[in-house]
Amino acid sequence: MSDPDGLATEGLTKSFGGVRAVDGATVTFHQGRINALIGPNGSGKTTFFNCVTGMIRPDSGTVTYRGRDLTGRPPHRIARAGIGRSFQLCRVFPRMTVLENMLVAVRRTRLRELLVGARQAEDIAKARGLLVRVGIDHLENVEAGNLSYGQQKLLELAGVLMGDPETIMLDEPAGGVNPALIGRIGTLIRELNAEGRTFLVVEHNMDLVMSLSHHVVVFDRGRPIAEGPPAVVREDPRVLEAYLGV
C-alpha cells in the first residue's frame, strides 16, 4: 500500500560499470512506522540508501518524500527536507571529544561560527540532553576514538538527532555491537518512533528486525522482491530462496 507522505522511490537505478547495484527499485516506506530493508549481502541496500540520501546520484528513477521530489539533491538538501542517516561504518571524528562531535553534527557553515556563535550555549545544552538520552553523557569529554564501537554507534545516532529529522535512516545499527547495546539501540528506536519519528533500518540481525519493525522490504539483486509485516515476510518463499537458495 502506498503512503503519499512516505519516502518512496520509483524505478530507481544505479549501475557501477556493467553491474546494476539498484535495478529499477519501486518501493514506499510508511511514515510514522519502523521500516526495515533487508536482503543478502550485495543486494543493493547501501547503494539504495546512498541514492536516496544524495551521497551518489541515481542513473534514473525518482526519490520523493512527502510528495516532494528529492532526486539527485545533495546531502545537505536531503537533510533539510527532514531525513537524517547513519552509516554502515561509523563516521565520527576520533580526535574530537564526544561533545565536540555532537556540535559538529549541527553542520553550521564554519566551525568557528559553531564554537563562538550566539547559539553555542543552546547547542551544547541540546547535545548534552541527547547524550543523556542515548546513555553516554558520562563520556562527553572522552575522545570519540576511545569509545567502543557500540558507543560510537550511539554517538552517531545522537549526532543524527541534533538535526531533528522526521525520518531516520540507519545502516546496520547493530553491526559489530554487543548484545547489551543492541538492546539499548532497539529501545531507543522504539521510543523515538513512539514520539513520532519514522525509521528506515538496514540490518542483518534478523532477531532485531523481526522484533522491531512494523513493515519489512526485502531486496535481492537490486530490487524489492517482497514486503509486508515481519511475520508474513519471513515465510515468503521468495525471501527463503533469496537467503537460503531453497
What's the pLDDT tens digit per position in 6-26?
899 999 999 998 899 999 999
As a whole number of angstroms, the distance between CA 189 and CA 241 comes to 30
The model scores a pTM over 0.95: no
As a whole number of angstroms, the distance between CA 28 and CA 202 comes to 15
Which ranges constitute the DSSP H helices of the chain? 45-52, 75-80, 98-104, 111-116, 120-134, 149-161, 179-194, 206-212, 230-233, 237-244
Give the CATH architecture of domain 7-244: 3-Layer(aba) Sandwich (3.40)
Mean pLDDT of 110-119: 54
Strand order in the sheet with 198-202: 83-85, 167-171, 198-202, 34-38, 215-220, 223-228
User: Within 10 Å of residue 100's Cβ, how many Cβ atoms?
Assistant: 19
The pairing of strands 223-228 and 215-220 is antiparallel
Residues 48 and 224: beta-carbon distance below 8 Å: no
Q: How sure is the predictor about 175, in pLDDT bands with cuts at 50, 70 and 90? A: confident
Q: Which are the contacts of 174, defined by CB distance < 8 A and separation ≥ 6?
A: 182, 185, 186, 203, 204, 205, 208
Domain coordinates in residue numbering, the chain: 7-244
Higher pLDDT, 158 or 119: 158
Among 103-107, 145-149, 194-198, top mean pLDDT goes to 194-198
pLDDT tens, position by position, 98-107: 999 998 876 5
Q: How much is the pLDDT for 246?
A: 45
Residues 36 and 212: beta-carbon distance below 8 Å: yes
